[in-house]
Amino acid sequence: MRTGKTSLLTAAIGVVCAITVLAAPGTAFADPGPSPSATASPSASASSDAPVTNAQLEAVRKRLDRLYRAAARATEEYNAAEEKAKKQNAEIVRLAKKIVKGEEKLAELKKRAGAAAAAQYRGGGLPPEAHLMLSDDPQEFLEGTDRVRQGQHAAKGLLGEMTRTQKDLKRYAEDARDRWRKLEAGRKAKAKAQKKIEKQIAAAEKLESTLEKEERERLARLEKEAARRAQSAWLSSGILDDIKGEASAQGKKAVAYATAQIGKPYQWGAEGPKAYDCSGLTSQAWLSAGRGIPRTSQEQWKQLERVDIRQMRPGDLIIYHDDASHVGMYVGKGTIVHAPRPGRTVTLAGAGSMPILGVVRPDAD
C-alpha cells in the first residue's frame, strides 16, 4: 500500500461520516453506533504506510452499507414524488380538456341566448306574452299560450344551463390551480431527493476510491461474507422447509421477466428496459405479467396484501429494512432477484441476506 494511504482512508471516512449526518433532516441517515473515530478510522497509533486491516475494511463496509441505504431511501422518495407528478400531470390534462369542452358549451349557450334576444328584437321588442294578448284570433291565442309556456320553460332551462356551466368552469379552474400547486411541490420534493441521492452516492464513491484494487477485492469478499452469514442464519431456522408455495400463472410471468433482467445495471429512478432500481424492477416485472402495482417499495409494502413468510411463493415481493427501503422478488429455493445498489447489477441473492420486514403478494386475489 502506498505511503499515507491509511491516513487518506481515515480522512475519507471522516468526511463521509459528516456527509451522512448532514445530508438529511435530523439524524435519519446518521450512524447509530459509536463515533466514526472509534469505529471507522484506523488506530491513531498506526503508521501512515501501514496496511488497511480487515477490521478497518469491515468498518468501511458498514459505512458504505449505510451510505447506500441512505441513497436507497432517497431514491424511493424520488420515485414517490415522480409518481405523484405523473398523476398530477394526468389530472391537469383531464381538467384542461373539461375546461375546453365547458368553454365550447358556454359559447354555444350564449349563441342560443343571443338568437332568442334577436328574435324578440325583431318582434318590436315586445315579449311573446304581449303579442299574445294583442291577438284577435281565439285559436291563435290558445296555440300561442302553449308556445309561450314552452318558450318560458326553454329560456329558464337555457339560463340555468349557462349558470351551471359557468360554475363548472370555475370549479375546474380552481382544481387545476390546486393541481399545479401540488405539481410544483412534487418537483421540489424530487429535486430535494435527487440531491440526497447524489450526495450519498458521491460520498460512497469517494470512500471506495481511497482503496487499492486489492483492498476493494477484500471489501467485496467481506460484503459477500456478511450476506452469506445472514442467509445461513435465516436458513438455520428451518424456514425453507415450510415455504412450499407454487407460483401463480402471473407470478411465473413476473419471475421470468425479472430474472431476464439479470446483469443489467442498477440506476436510481430507472424502470428499464436498460437499467433498474429495486422497485423499478419489481413493478415492471408485475406490469409485464398484467398486474399494475405501486412504484415504490414503501407503497408496495403499504398497499399490497401481506402474507406470512412461510406462505411465500415465487413472484411474491420481500420488503427489506425497517423503513421498507428495499425490495426483491422471491424466485424460489430461498432466493430473490433484485437490483441491489449503485455500482451493482440485477442479480440473484439469498432471501435472508438482508433484514426482512415482511412479504407482500401482488396477485393475492
**Residues 97, 120: Cα–Cα separation, whole Å:** 35
**Residues 37, 39: Cα–Cα separation, whole Å:** 6
**Residues 277, 279: Cα–Cα separation, whole Å:** 6
Q: What is the DSSP string of 228-277?
A: HHHHHHHHTTTGGGT--PPPPHHHHHHHHHHHHTTTPBB-TT-BSSS-B-
Backbone angles phi, psi at 40, to 5 degrees: -105, -20
Catalytic residue among 17, 131, 321, 338: 338
Identify whether 338 is a catalytic site residue: yes
**Residues 105, 85: Cα–Cα separation, whole Å:** 30
Asked if 319 and 301 touch (Cβ cutoff 8 Å), the reply is: yes
Neighbour count for residue 336 (Cβ, 10 Å):
24
> Which residues are bridge partners to 350 per DSSP?
335
* Pick from 87, 119, 77: nearest CA to 69: 77
Cell 441513497 maps to which residue?
71
Catalytic residue among 17, 153, 321, 326: 326
**Residues 141, 151: Cα–Cα separation, whole Å:** 15
Asked if 305 and 346 touch (Cβ cutoff 8 Å), the reply is: no
Asked if 96 and 176 touch (Cβ cutoff 8 Å), the reply is: yes
**Residues 301, 254: Cα–Cα separation, whole Å:** 18
Identify whether 326 is a catalytic site residue: yes
DSSP label of 126: -
Which run of H or of E encompasses 328?
strand 326-332
Cell 398530477 maps to which residue?
88
Catalytic residue among 17, 153, 278, 321: 278
Residues classed as catalytic:
278, 326, 338
